[in-house]
């Protein structure tokens, strides 16, 4: 479990940028955390901890900030890494899943051959806000027959309650409430 000292230490490396990328959004920027070797190391080791005894075939990371620590988490769990990307970025055959944004909609894609039925997958992103993105990613993994064994985030925007949109029987771990 993450203790208070670790939480307070890591929170020093998260900054809030007001009105980015659009007015009204309080953007949680973790580039200071990536840039500090102690904070980066600490984050990597805390991300792996809740899942270290799980059998995991893949970590699926969400574009784009889920690509930053997702591959390291995969290596630490002795698993492969699957990118789940914005439309038109993956070159081979894909499955696509649409999801609603506050204004309009977007979609995510996964390679159709990224995993096979029964593979065990952890879905990772830097942050969960409303939960729409990770829910769409979950549908893609499940469409291919993958079993989601966990959700992993560095940050959770607590007041948005995004984790309530996820299957509550699947462990969901976020290091920091922001």
Chain residues binding ligand AMP by CB under 6 A are 25-28, 62, 65, 125-133, 157, 162
Query: Which one, 78 or 105, has the nearer CB to ligand AMP?
Result: 105
CB of residue 33 to ligand AMP, shortest distance in Å: 13
> 112-117 long-range contacts, Cβ below 8 Å, gap at least 24?
112/144, 114/58, 114/60, 114/82, 114/144, 115/57, 115/58, 115/82, 115/141, 115/144, 115/145, 115/146, 116/144, 116/145, 117/144, 117/145, 117/146
102 is known as an active-site residue: yes
65 is catalytic: yes
Task: Pick between residue 128 and residue 149 the one whose CB is nearest to ligand AMP.
Answer: 128
Q: Which of 55, 100, 102, 158 is catalytic?
A: 102
Query: Residue 63 CB, nearest distance to ligand AMP (Å)?
Result: 8
Least Å from the CB of residue 56 to ligand AMP: 21
Which C-beta is closer to ligand AMP: that of 86 or that of 116? Answer: 86
**Residues annotated catalytic, as ranges:** 65, 102
């Amino acid at each position: 479990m993450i203790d208070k000292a670790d939480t307070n230490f890591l929170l020093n490396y998260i900054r809030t940028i007001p009105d980015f990328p659009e007015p009204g959004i309080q953007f949680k920027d973790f580039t200071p955390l990536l840039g500090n070797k102690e904070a980066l190391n600490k984050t990597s080791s805390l991300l792996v901890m809740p899942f270290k005894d799980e059998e995991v075939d893949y970590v699926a990371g969400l574009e784009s900030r889920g690509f930053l620590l997702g591959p390291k988490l995969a290596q630490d769990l002795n698993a492969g890494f699957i990118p789940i990307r914005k439309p038109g970025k993956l070159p081979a055959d894909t499955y696509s899943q649409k999801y609603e944004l506050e204004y309009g909609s977007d979609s995510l894609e996964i390679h159709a051959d990224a995993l096979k039925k029964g593979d065990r997958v952890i879905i990772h992103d830097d942050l969960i806000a409303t939960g729409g993105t990770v829910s769409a990613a979950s549908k893609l993994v499940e469409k291919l027959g993958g079993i989601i064994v966990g959700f992993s985030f560095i940050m959770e925007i607590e007041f948005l309650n995004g984790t309530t949109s996820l299957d509550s029987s699947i462990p969901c771990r976020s290091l920091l409430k922001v």
